[in-house]
Amino acid sequence: MARTYNVVTYGCQMNVHDSERISGLLEQAGYVRAVPTDDTPDIVVFNTCAVRENADNRLYGNLGRLRPVKDKHPGMQIAVGGCLAQKDRGDIVRKAPWVDVVFGTHNIGALPVLLERARHNAAAEVEILESLDVFPSTLPTRRESTYAGWVSISVGCNNTCTFCIVPALRGKEKDRRPGDILSEVRALVDEGVLEVTLLGQNVNSYGVAFGDAGEPNWKRSGGRSAFAELLRACGDIDGLERVRFTSPHPKDFTDDVIAAMAETPNVCHSLHMPLQSGSDDVLRAMRRSYRSDRYLGIIEKVRAAMPDAAITTDIIVGFPGETEADFQRTLDVVRQSRFSSAFTFQYSKRPGTPAATMDGQLPKPVVQERYERLVACVEEISWAENKRLVGETVEVLVAVGEGRKDERTGRMSGRARDGRLVHFATESAEGQSLAGQIRPGDIVHTTITYAAPHHLNADGALVAHRRTRAGDAAEAGRSPRTPGVLLGLPTIGAPPVAPAPTAGCATH
Ligand code: SF4
């Protein structure tokens, strides 16, 4: 019988996508995914995150709980990868000697070999590389969704934000060739995928390093327009209905990206642009080299070009040295930006980052109190922004796992083009339920009847329902296998709900 595996993922979208690669690699090596009720898979892989302060407690707690299970199941193997593994390396097997393999962020592809070697030698294998050997997108990938896929355009980051551990653990930015990116996008679309999210720590610096070595028609401005050109090239791919990207950086954001978003019909009018703080002094201390007026200037241009754009952000409150006046500046920028939602974080020390040893660390009650005021301000604005959509008809890509209460309410859920979460009733104009006919990956049009701060409801009759190839695939439960060469192809299955972002990582 084939050996089974389970991958446990912590952290950001990068990690979720890396876990798709880990799954693809293991399946190429002959393992099969354990069913959810299987408590004793043959391989358990922890894909870790080092961003949260208590990430290591969580990992070692989980490893401790697994130890007696492993003792009772000879042959079971445990592997630890991701950012915490890159950081703690051999310490992991010193603290938890029952771990079989430790691998880093730069050598995901080595996992099957390391598992094999650990089994053969009956000893732990720890292998951490200092830089990337193979661009991770060349690894086989077991996609979790039939309708939406992530495509990495770069890994690593050249910035040095003082709260962020990413540059230390993911290395300097490495960009992928545009032709490889577009081939992967086409391969996904050929499998029925409708939506692609281009993924990089700083998508706006994509291609700058190519300079004159870029694609022939992308050479203007020495590669600085490469990301805009990439968006426009995605616009030429038949069958690709939605293009998103994460994350841009205000420092590098250029007008040509706004023009490409506005002029390329399949690029969604949604922008997630991290603010982090509205205070220029705090931005300086964070070593983020834009200032609040630049940030607001970008938002103004985005709204001028795309009045329907939904803009979301990340904000850290309580950074060392933040004064009440600094915090008020953040509230000012939030009010002016009118975010449709914001991920808000209380600053907490991340070992290994410059900010962790800065003077002026704030007492928890001060951070908590500011955080609560920030959340109230953000919610008031996002609620008001959402209410403007009541009465509007929106296009929704039907999703899996987005509506916790769907079973009870009889609704289905999905994302509008601008990224907003919509829970919708499934009755046709004739009053018949279409619930059995609408599949994840299908497209519906529906009219918003109610707005909450974090979601919209559409409780009237559906305006339209379009069956798609992604929906066909989901209904058939087909599981196309990954070929194990260059490109990852999608497979069928419930997509994971993306974990909440963590400041200073993919959300920067
Ligand atoms: S927060 Fe983002 S831009 Fe800053 S160093 Fe981290 S990954 Fe790079």
Residue 357 Cα to ligand 1 midpoint, Å, equals 18
- pLDDT score at 484: 34
Q: What is the pLDDT of residues 110-154, one digit of tens each?
A: 999 999 999 999 999 999 987 776 666 667 777 878 899 889 899
SS3 437: coil
In short, whether 159's Cβ falls inside 6 Å of ligand 1 is yes
Question: What is the arithmetic mean of pLDDT over 13-29?
Answer: 89
Judge if the beta carbon of residue 17 lies within 6 A of ligand 1.
Answer: no
Which numbered atom of ligand 1 lies nearest the CA of 504? Answer: 1
Q: How far apart are CA 151 and CA 350, in angstroms?
A: 28
The percentage of the chain sitting over the pLDDT mark of 70, rounded to a whole number, equals 90
Predicted pLDDT of residue 211: 59
The pLDDT value given to residue 213: 53
Q: What are the b/e assignments for 153-172, b being 16+ CB within 10 Å?
A: bbbbbbbebbbbbbbbbbbe
Place 177 in a pLDDT band, splitting at 50, 70 and 90.
confident
**Bond into 247 cis (ω within 30):** yes
166 CB less than 6 Å from ligand 1? yes
Question: Atom of ligand 1 at shortest distance to CA of 505?
Answer: 7
Residue 173 Cα, ligand 1 centroid: separation in angstroms?
Answer: 11
Binned at pLDDT 50, 70 and 90, residue 50 comes out as confident
Residue 167 CB–ligand 1 contact under 6 Å:
yes
CA-288 nearest atom, ligand 1: 4
Give nearest CA residue, ligand 1 atom 4: 161
Three-class DSSP category at 413: strand
- Ligand 1 proximity of 249 Cβ (cutoff 6 Å): yes
Is the CB of 157 within 6 Å of ligand 1?
A: yes
Q: What is the pLDDT of residue 224?
A: 62
Nearest atom (ligand 1) to Cα of 170: 7
**What is the 162 CA–ligand 1 centroid distance (Å)?**
9
Taking the centre of ligand 1 as the mean of its atom positions, its distance from the CA of residue 350, in whole angstroms, is: 13
| Any atom of ligand 1 within 6 Å of the Cβ of 164 | yes
Which pTM does this prediction carry? 0.85
Whether the per-residue pLDDT at 185 is higher than 80: the answer is yes
- Over 50: is that where the pLDDT of 321 sits? yes
φ and ψ of 245, to 5 deg: -150, 155
Report how far ligand 1's centroid is from the alpha carbon of 175 (Å).
15
Ligand 1 pocket test, candidate residues 157, 273, 287, 289, most atoms within 8 A of CB: 157
Q: Is there an atom of ligand 1 within 6 Å of 203 CB?
A: no
* Each residue's pLDDT tens digit, 390-410: 999 999 999 988 998 998 999
Of 164-178, 215-229, 350-364, the range with the lowest mean pLDDT is: 215-229
User: How close is the Cα of 161 to the center of ligand 1, in Å?
Assistant: 6
CB of 161 closer than 6 angstroms to any ligand 1 atom: yes
The answer to whether the CB of 508 is under 6 A from ligand 1 is yes
Whether the Cβ atoms of residue 112 and residue 29 lie closer than 8 Å to each other: yes
Q: What atom in ligand 1 is closest to the CA of residue 507?
A: 2
With the most atoms of ligand 1 within 8 angstroms of its CB, the residue from 166, 247, 283, 315 to mutate is 166
pLDDT of residue 174: 87
Query: How much distance in Å is there from the Cα of 167 to the middle of ligand 1?
Result: 7
Q: How far apart are CA 393 and CA 413, in angstroms?
A: 15
CB count within 10 Å of CB 480 equals 15
Burial annotation 312-331 (CB, 10 A radius, 16+ → b, else e): bbbbbbbbbbbeeebbebbb
Q: DSSP state, 314? A: E
Q: Mean pLDDT across the chain, nearest whole number?
A: 88
